[in-house]
Amino acid sequence: MALSLRASSALLLGARGHALARRGTAAAARPAAAPQRPLITTRAYRDEKGRGEEPKSPPGGKKEPLPASLPHEGGAPQDSLLAFPFARPAAAEPPVEFGQLLASGCPLRAKLFDGTPVWLLAKMKDVKAALVDPRLSKVRTHPGFPELSAGAKAAISDREPTFVDLNPPEHTRLRAMFAAPFERAAVDALRPFIRETVEGLIAGIERKRAYGGHKGPFDLHEEFSLPLAFAVIHRILGIHPEEGRHLSKNVAVRASGSSTARDAAAAQEEIVEFMSRHAAAKEADPSGDDVISSVVRNHLTKGDITRDQLVAHAFLLLVAGNATVASMIDLGVVELLGRPDQLQALRDDPSLLRAAAEEACRFHTASAYALRRVAVEDFELSGAHIKAGEGVIALNQAANRDREAFEDPSVFNIFRNPPPPNVAYGYGTHECIARELSLAELEAAYGGLFSRLPGLRLGVERSELPWSDPRRDVGLAALPVVWW
DSSP letters along 22-75, please?
HHHHHHHHSPPSSPPPPSSSS--S--TTSS--PPPPPGGGPPPPPTT--GGGT-
The DSSP output letter for 476 is B
Residue 253: count other Cβ atoms within 10 Å of its Cβ: 19
Structural contact between residues 273 and 340, judged by C-beta atoms closer than 8 angstroms: no
Q: Crossing angle, helix 435-452 and helix 340-348, to 10 degrees?
A: 100
Whether 367 is catalytic = yes
Strands 218-219 and 480-482, sheet pairing: antiparallel
Q: How many CB atoms lie within 10 A of CB 49?
A: 7
Q: What is the C-alpha to C-alpha distance for residues 400 and 359, in angstroms, rounded to an integer?
A: 10
Q: What's the pLDDT score for residue 252? A: 67
Buried b (16+ CB within 10 A) or exposed e, 329-360: bbbbbbbbbeeeebbeebeeeeebbbbbbbbb
Helix axes 226-237, 435-452, angle to 10 degrees: 140
Q: Among 10, 4, 2, which residue's Cα sits nearest to residue 324?
A: 2
Active site residue 69: no
Give residue-wise pLDDT tens across range 366-386: 899 999 999 999 999 999 999
Q: Can you tell me the distance from the alpha carbon of 397 to that of 361, in angstroms, rounded to the nearest whole number?
A: 9
What is the predicted pLDDT for the residue at 255? 63
- What three-state secondary structure class fits 372? strand
pLDDT at position 77: 57
Which stretches of the chain drop beneath a pLDDT of 70?
1-79, 213-214, 252-261
Backbone phi and psi for residue 472, each to the nearest 5 degrees, phi listed first = -110, 175
Whether 197 is catalytic: no
Residue-wise DSSP of 154-179: HHGGGS---GGG--TTHHHHHHHHH-
State how beta strands 218-219 and 108-111 pair. unpaired
d(CA 228, CA 477): 16
Of the listed 219, 290, 330, 473, which one is catalytic? 473
- Closest to 415 (Cα-Cα) out of 343, 324, 367: 343
Cα→Cα distances 344→5, 313, 339, 447, 484, Å: 32, 41, 9, 12, 17
Give me the helices (H) in 320-352, please: 322-337, 340-348
Given this model, what pLDDT does residue 287 score?
94
197, 248, 294, 367: which is the annotated catalytic residue?
367
Catalytic residue among 293, 324, 327, 365: 324
Task: Give me the helices (H) in 365-409, please.
Answer: 396-399
Given this model, what pLDDT does residue 181 score?
A: 97
Measured distance CA(343)–CA(52) in Å, rounded: 21
Pairing of strands 391-394, 117-121: parallel
Q: In this predicted model, what pLDDT tens digit does every residue of 74-130 receive, in sequence order? A: 355 566 899 999 999 988 899 999 999 999 999 999 999 999 999 999 999 999 999
Are the beta carbons of 256 and 324 closer than 8 angstroms? no
Q: How many CB atoms lie within 10 A of CB 267?
A: 21
CA 333 vs. chain centroid, Å, equals 17
The rounded distance, in Å, linking the Cα atoms of 390 and 119 is 8
Range of the domain at 296: 1-484
- E strand intervals along 148-283: 218-219
Whether residue 361 lies in the annotated active site:
no
Instruction: Please tell me the total count of domains within the chain.
Output: 1
Sign of CA dihedral 113, 118, 120, 125: negative
The CATH number linked to 391 is: 1.10.630.10
Selected catalytic residue, list 137, 219, 432, 438: 432
**H-helix or E-strand containing 236?**
helix 226-237
Task: Determine the Cα angle at 274 with ends 268 and 277, to 5°.
Answer: 145
